[in-house]
Structure 1
Amino acid sequence: MKKQILILGTALTIASSLQAQEIPQTEVPSIIVNEFSKNYPEAKDIEWELEGNQYAVEFELDWNTDHELWYDKQGKLLKHKEDISEKDLPKAVSETIKSEFDGYAIDDLERISQSGKVYYHIDFEALLKEDWEVVIDNKGSIISKKAD
């Protein structure tokens, strides 16, 4: 049941992102802008979007370190998605990758923090093999796996 809820949540997030509207920072509630600015004062290339009743901000901190945050209207952080490198993976996730995706290269790797839990969204690719889009929790359990 938990897997179905996560898959449904992921599908809804993807569907809502297709309907997102880019907005200027002046249209974002000040409580959200202040919270963001306080926590990420070095943010660059900042872009705001309104997705339903949530505000999303995409930004960069370092070279090739992209982040996305989602806030509710009251300024509460709902979700944080960030690009990471393979060396940043927990041991349990690395072990799952080695055992389940031997011979595959990681094409894209993101850490997603939401509702007090951490997930890793990974795109795998290999020559002459089917590509995979996988979500693994921080304990190394595969939450979802679909051909890409």
Structure 2
Amino acid sequence: MKHLILLIILGTSITVYAQKSPEAINVPAAVSRNFQQQFPGAADVKWKLKDNQYKAAFHKHDVWYDANGKLIKQKEDIKNTDLPTAIKQTVEREFTGYTIKDADKHTNDGAITYKLELKKETEERKVTFSPDGRVLENVANKEDKKNKKEAKQ
């Protein structure tokens, strides 16, 4: 009986701790005002503070502001069909056999890039493109590197 009571108390403690909400972020008025002006329909917004940047995460968007309310950067999940034609053509030409697993549009100080996760069988790559289809960065997934390293041994 003592074990049962102990298990119930332990289970209840774990459940309460797991449901603990994250600390509330005190978002400066300038950040909140600019966010509401730029994304008036945003709902279920979750705020985080890291490295003096306020990150708002909401429906398929992440946006970062400085403490003065200046929008620093944003990331938007997009559909493959919304990618520029030049990027689709580069994927077909230079990444034969790969499929687009995920696509994000990034805006940083007005500069737009597209980050794609490409998959081919067990291989995955993270590739960054300019809007005109140029490859800016091409990185193999960490798991792929690990698997290749183990295969060599």
Task: Please tell me whether residue 82 in structure 1 is matched to residue 81 in structure 2.
Answer: no
The letter for the 1-side match of 2:52 is N
Partner of 2:32: 33
Find the partner of 1:116 among 110, 113, 137. Answer: 110
Partner of residue 136 from structure 1, selected from 129, 133, 140:
129
TM-score normalised by the chain length of structure 2: 0.74
Q: Give, in whole Å, the separation in 2 of the partners of 1:135 and 1:123.
A: 9
| Alignment coverage as a number of residue pairs | 120
Flag the structure with more relative contact order, 1 or 2, with Cα contacts below 8 A and sequence separation at least 6. 1
Whether the 8 Å CA contact 1:121–1:135 is kept in 2: the answer is: yes
Alignment of structure 1 residues 47-126 onto 2, 5 Å: 47-60=46-59, 66-126=60-120
Residue 87 of structure 1 aligns with an amino acid whose one-letter code is T
So what's the TM-score if we normalise by structure 1? 0.76
Q: Which runs of 5+ in 2 are unaligned?
A: 1-21, 142-153
Structure 2: distance between partners of 1:112 and 1:23: 28
Q: Runs of 5+ in structure 1 lacking a partner?
A: 1-21, 61-65
- Structure with bigger strand share is 1
Contact 1:107/1:123 (8 A) holds in 2: yes
Residue 24 of structure 2 is aligned to residue 24 of structure 1:
yes
SS at 1:131 equivalent? strand
AA of the residue aligned to 2:127: V
Q: Distance in 1 between matches of 2:64 and 2:92?
A: 32
Q: For 1:104 and 1:55, how far apart are their aligned partners in 2?
A: 35
Secondary structure, in 3 states, of the residue corresponding to 1:32? helix
CA apart distance, 1:83: 0.3
**How far apart, in 1, do the equivalents of 2:77 and 2:115 lie?**
10
Q: CA deviation at 1:23?
A: 5.0
User: Which ranges of 4 or more aligned residues in structure 1 deviate by more than 2 Å?
Assistant: 22-25
CA deviations 1:22-58 (Å, max 9, x no partner) are 6535x01011111111221211221101111111100
Distance 1:131 1:24 in 2: 36
Aligned partner letter, 1:38:
Q
Among the aligned pairs, what percent are the same residue?
34
Structure 1 residue 93, shift from structure 2 partner: 1.1
